[in-house]
Structure 1
Amino acid sequence: MRTAMRIGEVARRSGVSARMLRHYDAVGLAAPSGRSSAGYREYSADDIVRIFHVESLRALGLSLKEVGQALDDPDFAPGEMVAELEVRTRARIAREEDLLARLRTVADAGADRWEQVLEVVALLSGLESGDASSRQRAALSAEAMSGERLARALLDEDDLNVAGALRWALARSGDDPTSVLITALADRDAQVRRRAVSVLVETPGERAVVALRSAVADGDPTVRSRAVLGLADRGDPDVVPALIDLVVDGVADVDAGEALGVIAADGAADMIVAAVVERLGSDAAVRRRIAQALGEIVGPAAASALNRLADDSDEGVAVTARYLIGRR
């Protein structure tokens, strides 16, 4: 009897993207209870129930940290949570209405009312502070700032908490930061390019897709893998060769194998298996990673390829293939 599902099947059945499932796992919010011998995520029925609980609570406006507390605290009171969310939402609406009123005053007053202009300048100063907590407070109050300005601040930010607040403000701004991010992809600093591609994978629109495709050729493995996986999460079949490269090179190969399984499920299994098998060579480590990727792909073509690898001259490859055949 089947007891676990891989990430691709969970994504298809739950509607939660593979990228988000990987993020939930990384932050310990909805981690799979099992791992295969090859390191692939295996979700139980209880794991999937928790994923649905996470999605339901996020829809109410809770942060990921608050979702974790709600699910893990046995004394958690839902009624109190709803009341607190209502108070928080009303306070946020009041702040935004107050900000809108002040901006209208600035626009109407011209050069005679500089107090409001100075408040905006103070906000910018907060974002540029050397103190991370000051930058975070400024970011959480910066929804009305332009998406371009927020994106530039995000590209310069190395504190994860501040970066999260800036992402939140950028999403709420409603502006398209793609132009700034495209420019950042040409920066000499790999850290800047990594931040840019991380925002691009969450940015909607065809321009973001084009930018991600250009980042696939980046010389930094982290930039390249993030771009490839971001395109895969959008269901881009043209990214299959790049995903196979990640598997062969051993760069984010587990995530790349899972992404190949998701794309293959849309009817491209035979083509993907053929392309994967072409990369088999003399390196046993590569063949083992390819076997692991084939284990993520459903259908007779992948099964046939695994059967051949079950007789591989390298015992590690053969054992891996036989294990994956037993899991099908």
Structure 2
Amino acid sequence: MNTQIPKTRLRADRLALALRASDPSARLQAALTAGTTPEPEFVAPLVARCGVEPDFSVRDMLTWALTRMPRELALPAVLAELDSPVALARSQALHTLSKFGDPATWSAIRTEFLHDADPDIARTAWRAAVAVAPEPAHAGLARELAAEFGRGDSETMRSLSRALVALGDAATVPVRDASRDPDPAIRIHALATARLLEDPDASFALDPADAGRMATAFSGSRGAH
């Protein structure tokens, strides 16, 4: 009986071992090599490593390598990671879906991801949703994203604003409505986003004075009636 292990299986085993190397540069090279010479058997070790890889550059290379694999194998494996109990695995799966950019995966970007308590998952979900959402879903997605105005640090706010700007005209009404919110943090963030909608090439900038200006405007408007 022939018990010889197929060469592709041996290469997949070697890849899995290389992806566990202590040196991040060695792991990076292993992921690069896998993406350069893709094999269907590489999908499993690449996906498995995504959920535990601590180095950002290596994770990004793992994602690139997965986009080079046969899509009919890679996408289901990545989608399955959205149900992982490991936050990093879910976040990296969302990131990888954004790089695939396949509208067929839109239904997998569940609303719960957009509002996840973990800021890394939420930010990645925003980018993924914008990347794969079909145009008819843009208005609803913009409303969901606008519900996150005022959340987190400046980097989280910038990520949300850029996601909304990527939706274009669909974001106009939710951003306008949020700019009138009684919460000053929401107003400041929404107005910063409104400026980006007018000039997407501009820098993201929060202006605390916005809250006072809007409060004065609202007060004057109420007094006029």
CA 1:316–1:219 in 2, change beyond 3 Å: closer, same or farther? closer
1:269-288 matches, within 5 Å, as 271-277=173-179, 280-281=181-182, 283-288=183-188
- Give TM-score scaled by structure 1 length: 0.49
Find out whether 1:137 has 2:23 as its counterpart: no
Find out whether 1:244 has 2:146 as its counterpart: yes
CA 1:245–1:297 in 2, change beyond 3 Å: closer, same or farther? same
Find out whether 1:229 has 2:127 as its counterpart: yes
CA 1:161–1:263 in 2, change beyond 3 Å: closer, same or farther? closer
Matches of 1:124 and 1:291, distance apart in 2: 48
Matches of 2:68 and 2:196, distance apart in 1: 36
Find out whether 1:189 has 2:86 as its counterpart: yes
Find out whether 1:317 has 2:211 as its counterpart: yes
Deviation of 1:260 after TM superposition, in Å, equals: 2.9
Find out whether 1:213 has 2:134 as its counterpart: no
Deviation of 1:228 after TM superposition, in Å, equals: 1.9
Find out whether 1:255 has 2:152 as its counterpart: no
Deviation of 1:156 after TM superposition, in Å, equals: 2.2
Query: For 1:111, what is the secondary structure of its paired residue?
Result: coil
Query: Matched residues, percent identical?
Result: 21
Deviation of 1:240 after TM superposition, in Å, equals: 0.8
Corresponding residue for 1:160? Answer: 56
Consecutive unaligned residues of structure 1, counting only runs of 5 or more, are 1-109, 299-313, 322-328
Q: Note if contact 1:128-1:135 (Cα within 8 Å) is conserved in structure 2.
A: yes
Query: For 2:124, what is the secondary structure of its paired residue?
Result: helix
Deviation of 1:243 after TM superposition, in Å, equals: 1.9
Larger Rg: 1
Amino acid at match of 2:147: D
Amino acid at match of 1:257: S
Matches of 1:264 and 1:120, distance apart in 2: 43
Matches of 2:11 and 2:161, distance apart in 1: 50
CA 1:319–1:139 in 2, change beyond 3 Å: closer, same or farther? same
Amino acid at match of 1:227: A
Moved over 6 A (4+): none
Q: Note if contact 2:127-2:163 (Cα within 8 Å) is conserved in structure 1.
A: yes
Deviation of 1:120 after TM superposition, in Å, equals: 4.5
Q: Note if contact 2:145-2:164 (Cα within 8 Å) is conserved in structure 1.
A: yes
Matches of 2:21 and 2:121, distance apart in 1: 28
Corresponding residue for 1:100? Answer: none
Instruction: Report the number of matched residues.
Output: 195
Corresponding residue for 1:121? Answer: 13
Q: Deviation digits for residues 15-53 of structure 1, max 9, x if unmatched?
A: xxxxxxxxxxxxxxxxxxxxxxxxxxxxxxxxxxxxxxx
Q: Deviation digits for residues 81-103 of structure 1, max 9, x if unmatched?
A: xxxxxxxxxxxxxxxxxxxxxxx
Matches of 2:124 and 2:80, distance apart in 1: 17
Consecutive unaligned residues of structure 2, counting only runs of 5 or more, are 199-207, 216-225
CA 1:288–1:139 in 2, change beyond 3 Å: closer, same or farther? closer
- Give TM-score scaled by structure 2 length: 0.68
Q: Deviation digits for residues 236-278 of structure 1, max 9, x if unmatched?
A: 332112221222324622232343344343xx46633554246
CA 1:271–1:247 in 2, change beyond 3 Å: closer, same or farther? same
Q: Deviation digits for residues 268-300 of structure 1, max 9, x if unmatched?
A: 46633554246x01x3232222222222344xx
Amino acid at match of 2:140: D
Matches of 1:120 and 1:227, distance apart in 2: 30
